[in-house]
Amino acid sequence: MKNYTRNAVLALFSCIICGLSFIFIYSEKSNGSGFAIEAPASISIYGDNIVEIKKKSMNEWVAAASSGQMLFYGDSVRTADKSEAVVEFVSKAVVRMNEKTEFYIEPQADTPKKYSLNIVKGELWINTAASSYNFDVKIGKTTISAADSVFDVSKEDQGVSLRVISGDVRISTDSELTVSPGNQIVFNADYGAKLDYFNQTKINSDWMHGDWYSANISKDAQYNEAIAKELSNSIQSSSLNYGLIDSTSFLVSQYLENIKSFLIFSEIKKKELNLSFISKLIDDGIYYLSVDNKQAADDMFGMVLNISKVLPAESLPDFKSVIFDKFNKLKIFTRKYGNLYIARNRVRDLFFGTPIYNVLSPYEKDHLTKTFLFDAVSDLLNPDAQNLILSYFRNLFRSLRSDKKYFEKYLKDNYQVVYSIMLDKPAFYRKDIFALKSELENMLPQKDQNSFVNERVQILKNIKEFVLDERLLPRDALAVTNFINEELKGKDTTAFSSDLEKLQDFTVFLSDRNYTETSIYGDTMSDRYVSYLTSQREKLQLDEFKKSLKLDVKDNKNEISNVDTDRIKKSIVDAFGQYGIKIEEFGDISGENAKYVAIKKAVKDDVIFSAKYNRDSDTVSEIKTEADYEFPFAVRPDKLGSALSTIAYKNEFAAAPVSESADQGLQSSSSSAVEMSAKSLVAEKLNLFGIKVNTAKISVINIITKEFRVSEAEINAEKEKITISFDFKDPFTEVSNIELKTAAGFVKYEDSTSIPLQELVSKMTKFAEKAYYDQLDKELEKSKSSR
């Protein structure tokens, strides 16, 4: 089998060598430079559009002869008012001319396959996504370079506008800058410009909603589809088949060495033979993938890897050119093209997995690395998008090690491209991605690392937006948030202290699973966040109430001997009763100032359950039904109905909706919980002075200014029970607007406008006695007068 295989290879090599000889001899005769002068472009005109051409050797403008007319280096083209045209370059770059636009093709006859144009005025839409080579646009002292990109450039009296639709566009003058996809930059081309990332802004939305933009986006999609289909058909119809070669039996490069004595060509021709063979192996690998023969494709690409490892150093630049040529042809394929998309990525992997990497220029490494980034962005819905981003950073890391000077400048000046692309994409907000990205940036000097603080703060802002819009899972958001906050500890954040302070509440919210992982506090994440903020505000208000009421307690977590537990139980029964919850049996009371109260048996909507109540935070936890079902989070008393309706088997949640009865009798106001707690605190304060009142008899006049109306409070005097009503407000040292309840109705206390709280019992006792005798005197007078 091996002899048969070798004979087949030898016969095949003979054919290849003859073909190479013919090609080489022909290329020598084409011109002194080794290539034939070509027409670099052709023009297409549709309908009544008026387009004129001026040849390099002429001074007069003439109407374009027809659609498809060839354009040569040095030729100029212009469109009239309300006229458009399309110029297609042989490199597959497409230039669409808007009305009143003029440009000329730069004379580049001494450089093969180098295409550039110089815009005089007007607007051009340029698509290089299918182009095999870099494309330049020159304006004054400025050069715009693009590969795999779509961009729009216009020159007007006020300057030049560059809008990048997709891909990687570099602009160079006195300095160099990469403009991000979705961004635009305005500059003066005649005098050059100091290019800086912060000159970039988002593309104007009005322009993106215009006819020019929408028409070109549609035309680009059609053009790319046509090119991809044409190439796909070409691959499946013209590839050679090397399936008889068994790559596991021998190395092709070794076999080539054995037959060198039979070759009469020079060393240059032998090198060409090697490269031609490699080229055809790659073609075959692509072909096999296109027909879904992945095993054969693996054999082909495996042979390329084996041959590349033994190529002499002087062959590597040509090897690089061969692979670039393959990659440029395949780059039009996206994931929807299946195996051909895989083939494109296999060819790209050859750059990073073979010795060719050592001869790549920094810009080539930059460009190839960015293809991972652009692939990820164009396919966000695919899980592999995140792996592509990681590949981007890993290869950038590798590039930085081998070309530190170039890539330090890239990280410092042009890394904003990555931020701009990533910041709007929730799919890339993963800790491992940001960790690798951060590791790259940490290789920069400290002063340059600090320049990334602004982006870190923006990332935190975006996390908040994505979570509330439910475009990012809270657990992923929390991991990234914690990582970034940890990073910021070592940075100068003085300029962003206000922003970071505003984001603190949201960071705490993310870490509270009570809110982020249940629907108890709302169906949407925005509702839950509002509920969380409300809860925090209520806690602050209650803390203020406690301070105002001077209800501070001793620092002894186990001491409850001085606490009126019966009164506490009664207040809990009253508070829970407002939410339709009937407490039938209490358990132990523990903690500082009776902080924790065990509820052994309670009923809500016929559901019997037990729980633990935290008086300080006004939350119920350890909720367990009689059927032994558990709810794993803490909720406020007003949310118990919802919790019980969604409770499921141990450690699971049921999808059952909240029953209508769950909220019957509830106070719908979001402030009801804090008001109830405030009423309890007021009742507790009054009890210290011998005044007892049911919280249901306390009305909140103004929760912000802490004003209350207390009705039918009771004072246990020696002779009788006294009932009074009064106003009670901050600083809670006195009461006013006092009324005494008598048999004949309420009697207003008018001796003074207010009474100190500590004197209320004694004065009301005397006032009640006086009111009693006054009423008795009136009755006697009335009795006498009636006789």
Query: Token pair of 20, please?
Result: 């190479």
Neighbours of 206 (CB within 10 A): 8
Q: Give the pLDDT confidence score for residue 416 in this predicted structure.
A: 62
Say how far apart CA 481 and CA 488 lie, in whole Å.
11
- Average pLDDT of the residues in 664-669: 36
Q: Give the pLDDT confidence score for residue 413 in this predicted structure.
A: 60
Say how far apart CA 53 and CA 593 lie, in whole Å.
93
Higher pLDDT, 152 or 499: 152
Say how far apart CA 575 and CA 581 lie, in whole Å.
9
Say how far apart CA 398 and CA 368 lie, in whole Å.
12
pLDDT at 51 over 70: yes
pLDDT at 99 over 90: yes
Neighbours of 329 (CB within 10 A): 20
| Contacts of residue 70, Cβ cutoff 8 Å, sequence gap at least 6 | 39, 41, 42
Among residues 513, 428, 435, the alpha carbon closest in space to that of 474 is found at 513
pLDDT tens column, 672-714: 667 887 888 888 889 888 899 988 899 988 877 888 999 999 9
Query: Number of C-alpha atoms within 13 angstroms, CB side, residue 420?
Result: 23
Q: Give the pLDDT confidence score for residue 31 in this predicted structure.
A: 42
* 153 contacts 160 by C-beta, under 8 angstroms: yes
Say how far apart CA 341 and CA 349 lie, in whole Å.
12
Higher pLDDT, 169 or 79: 79
pLDDT at 757 over 50: yes
Query: Token pair of 180, please?
Result: 């991000």
Say how far apart CA 85 and CA 67 lie, in whole Å.
9
Say how far apart CA 131 and CA 123 lie, in whole Å.
20
Say how far apart CA 695 and CA 709 lie, in whole Å.
11
| Contacts of residue 412, Cβ cutoff 8 Å, sequence gap at least 6 | 444, 448, 451
Higher pLDDT, 749 or 10: 749
* 641 contacts 658 by C-beta, under 8 angstroms: yes
* 196 contacts 177 by C-beta, under 8 angstroms: yes
Q: Give the pLDDT confidence score for residue 9 in this predicted structure.
A: 43
Q: How far is CA 510 from CA 503, 528, 714, in A?
A: 11, 11, 46
Angle 166-171-174 (CA atoms, 0-180°, nearest 5)? 165
Q: Phi first, then psi: give them for residue 521, nearest 5 degrees.
A: -100, 15
Q: What percent of the chain has pLDDT over 70?
A: 80
* 322 contacts 275 by C-beta, under 8 angstroms: yes
> Model pTM?
0.63
Higher pLDDT, 100 or 566: 100
pLDDT tens column, 229-263: 988 888 887 654 444 444 433 444 444 444 444 44
Q: Give the pLDDT confidence score for residue 242 in this predicted structure.
A: 41
Angle 145-148-153 (CA atoms, 0-180°, nearest 5)? 45
Q: Give the pLDDT confidence score for residue 113 in this predicted structure.
A: 64
Q: Which helix (H) or strand (E) holds 161?
A: strand 159-172
For 454-487, the DSSP string reads HHHHHHHHHHHHHHHTTSS-HHHHHHHHHHHHHH
Query: Token pair of 549, please?
Result: 């009421």
CA dihedral (445, 449, 451, 456) in degrees, to 10, reads 170
| Contacts of residue 177, Cβ cutoff 8 Å, sequence gap at least 6 | 170, 171, 185, 195, 196, 197, 199, 413, 414
Q: For 172-176, 409-413, 756-760, which range has the lowest pLDDT when averaged over its residues?
A: 409-413
Q: Give the pLDDT confidence score for residue 276 in this predicted structure.
A: 81
pLDDT at 355 over 70: yes
pLDDT tens column, 563-611: 778 888 888 998 888 888 999 999 888 877 788 899 999 998 888 999 9
Say how far apart CA 620 and CA 680 lie, in whole Å.
16
Q: Give the pLDDT confidence score for residue 110 in this predicted structure.
A: 56
Per-residue burial over 116-135, b if 16 or more Cβ lie within 10 Å, else e, is: bbbbeebbbbbbbbbbbbbb
> Max alpha carbon distance in the chain (Å)?
154
CA–centroid distance for 175 within its chain: 31
Higher pLDDT, 493 or 786: 493
Q: Give the pLDDT confidence score for residue 11 in this predicted structure.
A: 41
- Give the E-state strand segments of 494-606 in sequence order: 581-590, 596-604
Q: Give the pLDDT confidence score for residue 536 in this predicted structure.
A: 83
CA–centroid distance for 629 within its chain: 38
Query: Number of C-alpha atoms within 13 angstroms, CB side, residue 436?
Result: 18
* 366 contacts 399 by C-beta, under 8 angstroms: yes
| Contacts of residue 103, Cβ cutoff 8 Å, sequence gap at least 6 | 76, 77, 78, 95, 97, 117, 118, 119, 120, 122, 124
- Average pLDDT of the residues in 393-399: 84
Average pLDDT score over the chain: 79
- Average pLDDT of the residues in 460-487: 93
pLDDT at 267 over 70: no
For 430-457, the DSSP string reads -HHHHHHHHHHHTTS-HHHHGGGHHHHH
pLDDT at 560 over 90: no
The span from the first CA to the last CA of the chain, in angstroms, equals: 144
| Contacts of residue 639, Cβ cutoff 8 Å, sequence gap at least 6 | 520, 521
pLDDT tens column, 413-450: 656 666 667 778 898 899 998 888 888 877 777 666 66
Q: Give the pLDDT confidence score for residue 22 in this predicted structure.
A: 35
β-bridge pairing 62-63 and 51-54: antiparallel
